[in-house]
């Protein structure tokens, strides 16, 4: 049985922040990432939470990510916001971009944020969630190092490449939030199973010849299984266009891995579109989303995407989060 310790969200944020700073990350870059780490743990997505902090710290120390990077913002058109992350953490670059994106979308009805020379942005839905809290429909894309093979092939050409959309509700919180990768499961889950010495279910990954495997280490050397077969490959390609080609970021086939120390900065990208629904639908958006959500809620046993995370988030506010003790030991060793 895995030993755990219960931490409050404040303790999780503080622990993540201190470890990142101890590894050489500037406080201005460490704070947004620490805040996101606590939110991710609250949502129950442990694979992207504190478990990633030792990896982030290792990548700062080996130069895969510049912990002291200062992102640079430009605005070539009224509706286009560009941020060069300068091979630093994505979170501080996204924060910088959102400060301009949100008012631009409110003023013009729609605006886009392009981020290049970036790094793993963690849970993509964390970022679109914030756009919905601002009363905007938030659509996000992020590309990753290649890990999905094309239909009929066995060599990876695109990453797990998630997309996310968050629709604002009348209460100032997202009424609906979709956050899904192009693969059957996030690659970080396979990495987590490999670290823990656990087999993976059939359908998560494939070996180097394209055959299904239950060995996470074999899967990590092969390819991730696309969600829905060829349709998942299509989603991955869509995201690659949005997050890499449209931003000028590195394609997944050329990006260094998010794991390990080899290859230098991955220089991947993120792309966000923020839409003020009142600009396109007047007052109809709120009632339309409410009716759609209500139709799903009215069905016995039906649930919306994001329901599971939302329930865990509310519980974490009062009960804290049970965190793997071995992960905590690794982080505390970095701080010591």
Angle at 160 between CA 327 and CA 169, to 5 degrees: 85
Whether 10 sits among the annotated catalytic residues: the reply is no
Q: In what order do the strands lie in the sheet with 212-213?
A: 212-213, 205-206, 223-224
Q: How far is 131 from 275, CA to CA, in rounded Å? A: 9
Q: Are 169 and 133 in contact (CB under 8 A)?
A: no
Whether 189 sits among the annotated catalytic residues: the reply is yes
Whether 47 sits among the annotated catalytic residues: the reply is yes
Q: Give the count of beta carbons closer than 10 Å to the beta carbon of residue 307.
A: 14
Q: Which of 249, 238, 235, 220 is nearest to 90 (CA)?
A: 249
Among 59, 114, 181, 189, the active-site one is 189
Give the distance between the most distant pair of CA atoms in the chain.
55
Give the three-state DSSP class for 35.
helix
Among 47, 92, 114, 181, the active-site one is 47
> How many residues can be counted in the chain?
336
Dihedral of alpha carbons 312, 315, 318, 323, sign: negative
| Residues contacting 210, CB < 8 A, separation 6+ | 149, 153, 154, 222, 223
Which sequence positions are flagged as catalytic?
47-48, 189
């Amino acid at each position: 049985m895995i030993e755990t310790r219960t931490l409050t969200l404040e303790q999780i944020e503080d622990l993540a922040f201190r470890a990142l700073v101890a590894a050489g990350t500037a406080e201005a870059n460490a704070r947004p990432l620490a805040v996101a780490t606590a939110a991710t743990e609250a949502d129950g997505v442990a694979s992207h939470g504190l478990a990633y902090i030792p990896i982030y710290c290792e990548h700062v120390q080996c130069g895969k990510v510049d912990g002291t990077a200062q992102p640079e913002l430009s605005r070539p058109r009224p509706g286009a916001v560009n941020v060069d992350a300068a091979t630093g953490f994505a979170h501080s670059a996204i924060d910088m971009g959102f400060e301009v994106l949100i008012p631009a979308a409110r003023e013009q009805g729609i605006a886009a944020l392009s981020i290049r020379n970036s790094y793993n942005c963690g849970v993509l839905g964390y970022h679109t969630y914030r756009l919905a809290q601002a009363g905007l429909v938030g659509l996000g894309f992020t590309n990753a190092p290649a890990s999905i093979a094309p239909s009929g092939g066995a060599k990876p050409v695109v990453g797990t490449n998630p997309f996310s959309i968050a629709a604002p509700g009348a209460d100032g919180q997202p009424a609906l939030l979709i956050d899904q990768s192009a693969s059957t499961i996030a690659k970080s889950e396979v990495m987590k199973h490999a670290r823990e010495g656990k087999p993976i279910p059939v359908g998560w990954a494939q070996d180097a010849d394209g055959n299904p495997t239950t060995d996470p280490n074999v899967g990590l050397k092969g390819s991730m299984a696309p969600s829905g077969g060829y349709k998942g490959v299509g989603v991955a390609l869509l995201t690659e266009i949005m997050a890499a080609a449209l931003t000028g970021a590195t394609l997944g086939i050329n990006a260094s891995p998010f794991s390990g120390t080899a290859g230098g900065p991955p220089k991947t990208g993120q792309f966000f579109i923020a839409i003020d629904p009142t600009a396109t639908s007047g007052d109809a958006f709120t009632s339309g989303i409410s009716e759609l959500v209500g139709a799903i809620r009215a069905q016995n046993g039906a649930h919306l995407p994001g329901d599971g995370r939302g329930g865990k988030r509310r519980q974490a506010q009062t009960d804290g989060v049970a965190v793997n003790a071995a992960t905590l030991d690794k982080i505390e060793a970095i701080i010591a």
